[in-house]
Each structure stands twice: as structure tokens, then as C-alpha cells.
């Protein structure tokens, strides 16, 4: 399993980095659509695991939403005179609100599932609130590139990826070696408090990298943004685990050998990207 994970990751990384840094924002926005459609199909399994009609109808409506977002606000119109388009502000703001609500759902699980577990409509809405703000946040950050700074937007996206990867890796290794106290046993039995704290500690490597490459940054701000983004990524991971547990499925899909589905790979990013984007706009720009 570990060998498969490593091979798959090594094959995917060049495409991910190439898209983040070298695809123009307009192409990047459209390239994201099929990826998010696969994730949407996987979310459809968590709505009704045995119903293909529900899964495909959710995928279709999600596709309409993403295509409409790209058509209504093209990537070159996302930022105008340094101000984020109101449509994108609304979508990402809704994402921030959703992740606050999600914290309470995760902490209260399984009791919290009583009002949504038997409602395909609510689970569909939760899926839209999970995927659409992440999609919008990716395009928002990527679109900050300019002629003078062609890699700036890509660097911001990559920074979020680095924080999430550092937090996930730290949580895995600290959890395996030191994990004793379960973090959320009813949501994800394998995760421990020691793993979470180890993951947060590991993200300080990203802080050190940012300060080395850009020493003019305010260290307390960089630490705060990094930790909040890492905590958000943990919430995203736990939230998907909650919905998978409710649907009684282990992996969201099997398209990525050793990794499960696309949703399994981006669950942390679905929360980390909107949260980072909101903090960046409010405090760091």
C-alpha cells in the first residue's frame, strides 16, 4: 500500500506543480472542472451509496455550478483593481461559514447526524459547500499572478499545499510513533491528539521556509496563518471521514492507487484553501 501511494504521488506531483505554476489562470480554472467533477461523483456516493441516479445528478448539478462560475466570472476578471469579485467573495465567504458549522457537526457526531443523515438534499448542499468554495479559492489565489510576478499566485496555492502536506505527514508519523489519545474516535478512530499536535509542529518547517525566502514578512502573522490553515485542513479531513462513516464507506473512490479517490486526496484542501484565502485577503494582502 505504501509503495503504491509513493508511486502514485511521484506520478501526480509533476502534473500538479505544472498546473499550479505554468498554466495560465484561465486554463487553470477550466482544468479544475473535471477534477472537481470526479470529486463530486465521489461525494454522491456519500449521499446515497446505492443510488447511481443520485450520484450522477449531484455530479451534473455540481458541474453546472462550476461551469457557471467560470463563465460568469472569467479568471481574468476575478480581481479588479486589487478587489475580489463579489461573486467569489460570496462563494468563499459561504465556505468559511460552512467550515465553522462543520466543526460543530464533527465534534457532535454521531448525534449531530440525526438531522442530516436521512436527507439527500442536506448532504448535497454540504457537498456543494465543501467543493465550490475550494474551487473558487484555488482560482482566486492563482489569479493573483501578474506579468510582473507570473508565479505569485501559483506560489500562494503551493504554500497552502505545503502546509497541508506538512500537517498530514507530521500527523501520520507523530501519530504512529507517539499516538495514545484518540482525537475523534467516533469520526476517525486512527487519528490521535499527539498526531494533530505533531502535524501542527511540522508546519513550522513551512514557516521557516517562508521567512527564509521572504524575510520581510511578520513572523507572528506567518505562524498564525500557517497554524489556522493546518487546523482547517484537519477539520476538512475529519468532515469527510464523518460523511464516509455515515455512508459506511471506507474510501471515497479508487481512481488513485494507494490513495483512494480524488476526494480522499483533497479533503484537507477543501477547508484549508478557503480559510487561507479569507485570512490572506483580510490580513496579508
| The pLDDT value given to residue 12 | 79
Cα distances (Å, whole numbers) of residue 115 to 101, 106, 111, 249: 14, 13, 9, 20
Contacts of 89 (CB under 8 A, 6+ apart): none
| The pLDDT value given to residue 10 | 75
| The pLDDT value given to residue 62 | 97
> pLDDT for 170-210, tens place per residue?
999 999 888 889 999 999 988 999 999 999 999 999 999 99
Across 233-253, average pLDDT: 91
Amino acid at each position: 500500500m505504501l509503495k503504491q501511494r509513493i508511486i502514485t504521488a511521484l506520478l501526480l506531483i509533476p502534473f500538479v506543480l505544472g498546473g499550479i505554476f505554468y498554466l495560465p489562470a484561465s486554463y487553470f480554472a477550466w482544468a479544475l472542472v473535471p477534477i472537481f467533477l470526479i470529486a463530486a461523483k465521489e461525494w454522491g456516493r456519500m449521499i446515497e451509496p446505492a443510488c447511481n441516479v443520485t450520484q450522477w445528478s449531484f455530479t451534473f448539478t455540481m458541474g453546472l455550478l462550476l461551469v457557471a462560475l467560470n463563465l460568469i466570472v472569467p479568471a481574468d476578471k476575478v480581481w479588479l483593481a486589487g478587489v475580489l469579485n463579489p461573486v467569489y467573495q460570496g462563494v468563499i465567504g459561504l465556505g468559511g461559514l460552512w467550515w465553522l458549522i462543520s466543526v460543530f457537526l464533527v465534534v457532535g457526531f454521531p448525534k449531530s447526524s440525526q438531522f442530516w443523515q436521512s436527507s439527500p438534499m442536506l448532504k448535497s448542499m454540504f457537498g456543494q459547500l465543501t467543493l465550490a468554495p475550494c474551487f473558487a479559492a484555488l482560482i482566486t489565489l492563482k489569479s493573483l499572478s501578474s506579468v510582473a510576478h507570473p508565479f505569485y499566485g501559483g506560489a500562494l496555492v503551493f504554500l497552502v499545499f505545503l502546509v497541508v502536506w506538512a500537517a498530514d505527514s507530521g500527523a501520520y508519523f507523530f501519530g504512529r510513533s507517539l499516538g495514545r489519545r484518540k482525537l475523534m474516535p467516533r469520526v476517525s478512530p486512527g487519528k490521535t491528539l499527539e498526531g494533530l499536535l505533531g502535524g501542527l509542529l511540522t508546519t513550522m518547517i513551512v514557516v521557516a521556509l517562508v521567512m527564509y525566502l521572504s524575510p520581510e514578512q511578520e513572523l507572528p502573522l506567518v505562524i498564525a496563518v500557517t497554524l489556522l490553515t493546518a487546523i482547517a485542513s484537519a477539520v476538512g479531513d475529519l468532515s469527510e471521514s464523518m460523511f464516509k462513516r455515515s455512508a459506511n464507506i471506507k474510501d471515497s473512490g479508487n481512481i488513485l492507487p494507494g490513495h483512494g479517490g480524488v476526494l480522499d486526496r483533497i479533503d484537507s484542501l477543501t477547508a484549508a484553501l478557503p480559510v487561507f484565502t479569507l485570512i490572506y485577503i483580510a490580513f496579508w494582502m
